[in-house]
Amino acid sequence: MIRAFWRKRRIPLASLMLIRQPVRLAVALAGISFAGILMFMQLGFRDGLFDASVTVHRLFDADIVLISPRSTSSVSMAGFPRRRLIQAMASPEVEGITPVHWNLLLWRNPETLGTRSILALGFEPGHPLFTDPTLAEKAKLLTQKGRVLFDEKSRAEFGPVAEWFREGRTVESEINGKRVRVAGLIGLGASFGADGNLLTSSETFLDLIPNTPSGSIEVGLVRLKPGSDAAQVAQRLQSQLPDDVTVLTKQGFIDFEQNYWRTSTSIGFIFTLGAAMGFVVGCVIVYQVLYSDVSDHLPEYATLMAMGYKLNSLLGVVVREGLLLALFGYLPAYAAGQGLYLLVRNATQLPVAMNTVRAVSVFSMILIMCMLSAGLAMRRLVDADPAEIF
């Protein structure tokens, strides 16, 4: 039995070929890992920025969202008549509505006195806004004019507002040149379009922007009764309401924002091109390594062919070398990607994190990269003439 097993045992030519020259193997793995890290970072930045653009969108307590057809993104929201939201209440599936004011305002850092744009949302404190159940209690603090809820996850450039508030200090600042007081803290998170957020009442919001047309809002939230089909209701409302409003499902509202950054800006193209460049760099490195390996071992391959080994068996050795390089080059790239994502999250507050889809996608690209390079390197073996080698 042992003799039968020994006869069937195959010599691991692929691994022996690779480890025979440790320096070349180390260079190959370093190159593959570098290409993998580059792809991880480029795709991570791209997806993280797209996800960050809808930080607030995902939190809305709504099934359907009404916006103006003139709105292009969260940084350029146009107004539409508030009565359209009232008209939506006529639908039997609608359970409740929340009108929302949305605009970027100038916040003055209470410490440095510098100004920076911050996303301000104005709503009626008694109406549901976010799915967070703790917001309803905090919203009561906004009933007094001139009060705001500050996002403690905003970037540090807005000042040590959260730190001062927790210390029990009275935190006051200016928005568009008008005095406001921080009445509480919320945790939303910075988005790609806005580095910080704050909530206030509709009354305070209109006082901060006195030129806002009467009866105009930027976002209308519609909540449906349980069991209602949001897509069907949205389609019906779109046909019933005038053309001065666009009706979207909540997911459609999220897609609307992400599509703007994906198609109307150069962000998606730039980061995708960066990932493609990493793929090309990896292909070149792996091809050079495998081509040199095949060239250096042509006499050995020729000897095996003279002993009766078929060409397909020898080509399989090159393929297995590519597989091993892909596997052992991917592991350090994955580990480095996790560490760099953590660093980026802590430095920028952007939701850059590893996920299964991206991990599988990068491994697939590295595998294709190595297989493609192995296929090109095999041409050197196919074209070799044993007679000329000897």
- By residue count, the chain amounts to 390
Residues 91 and 27 in one domain: no
Across the range 229-247, mean pLDDT stands at 94
Separation in Å, CA 110 to CA 161, 177, 204: 8, 12, 19
Quick check: 5 pLDDT over 60?
no
Q: Is residue 149 part of a domain?
A: yes
Percent of the chain with pLDDT over 90: 41
Domain holding 45, by residue range, is 13-52+266-389
Q: What is the pLDDT of residue 17?
A: 64
Quick check: 290 pLDDT over 80?
no
**What's the pLDDT band for 297 if we cut at 50, 70, 90?**
low
Total of domains in the chain: 2
Q: Is residue 5 part of a domain?
A: no
- Among candidates 190, 220, 215, which has minimal Cα distance to 81? 215
- Domain end residue (candidates: 175, 210, 244): 244
Residues 99 and 226 in one domain: yes
- Among candidates 1, 11, 67, which has minimal Cα distance to 300? 11
Q: Is residue 164 part of a domain?
A: yes
H helix or E strand, kind and range, residue 186: strand 178-186
Percent of the chain with pLDDT over 70: 86
HSE of 135 in the Cβ direction (CA atoms, 13 Å)? 24
Quick check: 303 pLDDT over 70?
no
Structure tokens at 283: 């292909």
Q: Is residue 259 part of a domain?
A: no
Residues 187 and 104 in one domain: yes
In angstroms, the CA 43 to CA 68 distance is 32
Burial class (CB in 10 A: 0-12, 13-18, 19+), 167: exposed
In angstroms, the CA 283 to CA 371 distance is 9
Which single residue is written with the structure tokens 């921080």?
182
Residues 87 and 219 in one domain: yes
Residues 385 and 271 in one domain: yes
Global pTM exceeds 0.85: no
pLDDT per position as a tens digit, 170-192: 999 999 989 999 999 998 887 77
Which single residue is written with the structure tokens 């996850």?
153
Q: Where are the alpha helices (DSSP H) in 210-297?
A: 230-240, 250-263, 267-296
Q: What is the pLDDT of residue 6?
A: 37
**Residues whose CB falls within 8 Å of the CB of residue 212, separated by 6 or more in sequence, listed in order:** 79, 101, 205, 206
Q: Is residue 296 part of a domain?
A: yes
Contact 274, 42 (CB under 8 A): yes
Residues 181 and 327 in one domain: no
Beta strands 147-151 and 172-175, pairing class = unpaired
Across the range 352-369, mean pLDDT stands at 87
Q: What is the pLDDT of residue 64?
A: 95
Residues 273 and 375 in one domain: yes
Local structure of 185: helix, strand or coil: strand
Residues 274 and 180 in one domain: no
Contact 35, 366 (CB under 8 A): yes
Which single residue is written with the structure tokens 């691991």?
12
Q: Is residue 250 part of a domain?
A: no
Residues 85 and 178 in one domain: yes
Q: What is the pLDDT of residue 26?
A: 84
Q: What is the pLDDT of residue 383?
A: 60
Report the number of secondary-structure helices (H) and strands (E) in the chain. 14, 11
In angstroms, the CA 292 to CA 175 distance is 65
Residues 84 and 175 in one domain: yes
- Domain end residue (candidates: 212, 244, 276): 244
Residues 101 and 130 in one domain: yes
Across the range 321-338, mean pLDDT stands at 87
Q: Is residue 64 part of a domain?
A: no
pLDDT per position as a tens digit, 48-99: 778 878 888 989 999 999 999 999 888 889 999 999 999 999 899 999 999 9
Residues 129 and 225 in one domain: yes
Which single residue is written with the structure tokens 């692929």?
14
pLDDT per position as a tens digit, 195-207: 889 999 999 999 9
Q: Is residue 364 part of a domain?
A: yes
**Residues whose CB falls within 8 Å of the CB of residue 310, separated by 6 or more in sequence, listed in order:** none
Residue type, 135: L
H helix or E strand, kind and range, residue 325: helix 311-348
